[in-house]
């Protein structure tokens, strides 16, 4: 049987364990051999996106040591997966790093492209807004991008459409960034918050009860804004919805 290494990004591990648990359970339901290597920490993206890629050597080596042995590496975060795909390099084990770059998958793309999931047996009777996180969308091509003149597809939608009772709301701006952007959210606080407020408003004015997506970081950002505005609307990682009911 193919072995799956579960890559749970640092902030999901620390702040959103339920997204990690749902991911683990979903993969187990599909009959996969799933292991969470306990020596993992982070993909190094927060440093690299801040211009400190040269500091990420140890992080990268740690990633390779933890994940080289698996057939697939799956993670509930488009952004972290994209970072590994584009920037995982190590001085000592570049061959293994190169192999990892081709076998690391974001959860949604793994379910759709590798597992070819067509019948999820999940139930979530709510109005849901789908946030297209940029790195998952424009980097991993989870959903067609509104800028391009090309046929439409959406892998997260493909999965959400299998969930019983779920009603996907329409948004005014289907794929605008939420303004999280890693350290951008503190360095460029004013613009980041305004972007987040605008994104949240789009979901609220279209009647969302939940906002979901394939990247917890964007959801964490929007949750911060929702909570500050005392909104009842909740954020949930897509794995939690696909694993519900």
Partner 1 sequence: MNSETKTHPELSDLFNKDEQRVDWHDQTLWWIRQKRDKSAHSIPEWEILREKASEIKNNALSNLADYLVSFEQKALANGIIVHWAADAQEHNEIVHGILQKHGIRKMVKSKSMLTEECHLNEYLEKQGLEVIDSDLGERIVQLAKEPPSHIVLPCIHKKKEEIGDLFHEHLGVPAGTSDPQILTEAARQHLRETFLTRKAALTGVNFAIAETGEFVVCTNEGNADMGAHLADVHIACMGIEKIIPKRKHLGVFLRLLARSATGQPITTYSSHFKKPRAGQEMHLVLVDNGRTIQMGREDFRASLKCIRCGACMNTCPVYRRSGGHSYNYTISGPIGAILAPNLDREKYADLPFASTLCGSCSNVCPVKIDIHQQLYKWRQVIVQEGYATSSKKMSMKIMNYTLSSPSVYRTAGKAGRWVLKYIPFAVNNHFNPWYKQRDMPDAPKESFGEWYKKNVK
Site for partner 1 in 62-81 (CB under 8 A): 62
- Range in contact with partner 1 (rule: CB under 8 A) among 67-75, 98-106, 156-164, 223-231: 223-231
Count of residues in contact with partner 1, rule CB under 8 A: 71
Q: Are 127 and 207 in contact (CB under 8 A)?
A: yes
Residue 189 interacts with partner 1 (CB under 8 A)?
A: yes
Chain positions 76 to 135 lying near partner 1, rule: CB under 8 A, are: 134-135
Chain positions 143 to 172 lying near partner 1, rule: CB under 8 A, are: 145-150
User: How far apart (Å, rounded) are the C-alpha atoms in residues 197 and 137?
Assistant: 21
- Shortest distance, CB of residue 216 to partner 1, whole angstroms? 10
In terms of CB distance, is 61 or 162 closer to partner 1? 61
- Shortest distance, CB of residue 25 to partner 1, whole angstroms? 10
In terms of CB distance, is 118 or 150 closer to partner 1? 150
- Shortest distance, CB of residue 146 to partner 1, whole angstroms? 7
Q: Which one of residues 29, 41, 94, 152 is an interface residue with partner 1 (CB under 8 A)?
A: 41
- Shortest distance, CB of residue 206 to partner 1, whole angstroms? 17
């Amino acid at each position: 049987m193919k072995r799956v290494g579960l890559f749970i990004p640092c902030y999901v591990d620390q702040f959103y364990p339920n997204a990690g648990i749902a991911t683990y359970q979903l993969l187990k339901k599909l009959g996969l051999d799933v292991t969470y290597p306990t020596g993992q920490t982070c993909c190094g993206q927060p440093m690299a996106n801040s211009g400190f890629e040269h500091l990420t050597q140890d992080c990268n080596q740690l990633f390779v040591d933890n994940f080289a042995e698996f057939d697939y590496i799956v993670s509930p975060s488009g952004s972290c997966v994209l970072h590994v795909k584009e920037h995982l390099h190590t001085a000592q084990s570049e061959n293994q790093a190169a192999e990892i770059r081709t076998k690391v998958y974001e959860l949604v793309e793994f379910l759709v492209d590798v597992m070819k999931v067509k019948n999820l047996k999940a139930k979530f009777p709510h109005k849901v807004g789908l946030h297209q996180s940029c790195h998952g969308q424009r980097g991993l091509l989870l959903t067609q991008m509104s800028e391009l003149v090309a046929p439409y597809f959406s892998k997260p939608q493909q999965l959400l459409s299998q969930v019983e009772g779920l009603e996907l709301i329409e948004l005014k701006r289907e794929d605008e960034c939420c303004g999280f952007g890693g350290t951008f959210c503190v360095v460029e606080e004013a613009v980041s918050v305004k972007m987040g407020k605008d994104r949240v408003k789009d979901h609220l004015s279209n009647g969302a009860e939940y906002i979901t997506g394939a990247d917890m970081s964007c959801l964490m950002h929007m949750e911060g804004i929702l909570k500050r505005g005392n909104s009842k609307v909740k954020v949930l990682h897509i794995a939690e919805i696909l694993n519900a009911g």
